């Protein structure tokens, strides 16, 4: 089984002033992340603004980032869709490009029942049986919750290796852990809940904050797993204001603003997302200064 590590960064997609993807900055940022705590880069998920990227742009990003971090980090491709046929095609293409696994979000907007969710993920996994699949449950965005019982059934499929659990519900994460084998990997989908979820059996986090504090998040998780719970708690509490500030408005608006404050020319977000307001930027600046990042 591929080990995707403990800190998986849900990477932003940089844009140029004309709105096109800035592949050069993407490569530089990816290399920086790989050198600063990221075990795996998750491309073209929510944080990567996948709803406004074309598949061709996504495939090129997979290739560019794969080359930029070769030998230093793994690459996971966001291949999810609310069309099973489209998700299968994207997954097959990503596997051919050579990325190490794929992220599959719960189908959004059409709100399939649990039986439909099971069949959706089963169909994707069966088409590429040697390609690792990480489920992604984020009901606040998709409108549907992937229930622990369904996750447990999906965990029986060999190449469905784990879940990015972003329901914000620790009881749900506990139930997933109770119903699945130890080899099934649970990752927090919320930065501020990483430490609490470690306590109920999570392995790590698919993180937004790791763009800025990847090394510290890695230290926190390693401290917890090595039994240094107090040290892990101290790191969590030190990072907490930034972890919350990064979500005071729709992700990835704040993290892009924070990266710009740190000197990264990542551009704005594509419409219908927009730039951070002066108030959001001010709050981010305060949190970054407290950590000595600017």
The whole-number average pLDDT for the span 247-268 is 97
For residues 102 and 120, give the distance between their C-alpha atoms in angstroms, rounded to a whole number.
Answer: 14
Over the stretch 173-205, which tens digit does the pLDDT of each residue have? 999 999 999 999 999 999 999 999 999 999 999
The answer to whether 186 and 173 are in contact (CB under 8 A) is yes
**What's the average model confidence in pLDDT over 129-143?**
97
Q: How confident is the model at residue 165 (pLDDT cuts 50, 70, 90)?
A: very high
Beta-bridge partners for 42:
10, 76
Answer yes or no: 16 catalytic. no
DSSP letters for 102-157: EEEEPPPSS---HHHHHHHHHHHHHHSTTS-EEEEE-HHHHS----HHHHHHHTTS
Question: What's the pLDDT score for residue 20?
Answer: 97
- The catalytic residue among 23, 59, 136, 224 is 136
Helix (H, G, I), strand (E, B) or coil at 165: strand
Burial of 267 (0-12, 13-18, 19+ CB in 10 A): buried
Q: Which two tokens stand for residue 56?
A: 């061709």
- Per-residue pLDDT of 33-85, as tens digits, reads 999 999 999 999 999 999 999 999 999 999 999 999 999 999 999 999 999 99
Retrieve residue 246's tokens: 């990064």
Instruction: Find the catalytic residue in 153, 164, 203, 256.
Output: 164
pLDDT at 1 over 90: no
Q: For residue range 259-275, what is the model confidence (pLDDT) as tens digits?
A: 999 999 999 999 999 99
| 256 given a catalytic annotation | no
DSSP H or E segment with residue 90 = helix 84-97
What's the pTM? 0.96
């Amino acid at each position: 089984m591929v080990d995707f590590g403990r800190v998986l960064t849900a990477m932003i997609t940089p844009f140029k002033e004309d709105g096109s993807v800035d592949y050069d900055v993407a490569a530089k940022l990816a290399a920086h992340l790989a050198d600063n705590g990221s075990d795996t880069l998750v491309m073209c998920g929510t944080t990567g603004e996948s709803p406004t990227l074309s598949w061709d742009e996504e495939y090129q990003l997979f290739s560019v980032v794969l080359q930029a971090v070769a030998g230093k980090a793994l690459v996971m491709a966001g291949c999810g869709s609310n069309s099973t046929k489209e998700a299968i095609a994207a997954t097959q293409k990503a596997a051919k490009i050579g990325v190490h696994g794929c992220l599959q979000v719960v189908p959004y907007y059409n709100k399939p029942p649990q039986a439909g969710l099971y069949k959706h993920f089963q169909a994707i996994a069966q088409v590429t049986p040697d390609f690792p699949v990480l489920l992604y449950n984020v009901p606040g965005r998709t409108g549907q919750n992937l229930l622990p019982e369904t996750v447990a059934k999906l965990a029986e499929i060999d190449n469905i290796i784990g879940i990015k659990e972003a329901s914000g519900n620790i009881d749900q994460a506990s139930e997933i852990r109770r119903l699945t084998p130890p080899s099934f990997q649970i990752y927090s989908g919320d930065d501020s809940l990483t430490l609490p979820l470690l306590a109920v059996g999570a392995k790590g986090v698919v993180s937004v904050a790791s763009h800025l504090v990847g090394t510290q998040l890695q230290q926190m998780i390693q401290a917890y797993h090595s039994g240094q719970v107090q040290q892990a708690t101290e790191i969590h509490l030190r990072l907490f204001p930034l972890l919350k500030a990064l979500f005071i408005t729709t992700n990835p608006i704040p993290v892009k603003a924070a990266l710009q404050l740190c000197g990264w020319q990542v551009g704005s977000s594509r419409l219908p997302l927009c730039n951070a307001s002066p108030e959001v930027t001010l709050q981010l600046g305060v949190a970054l200064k407290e950590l000595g990042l600017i």
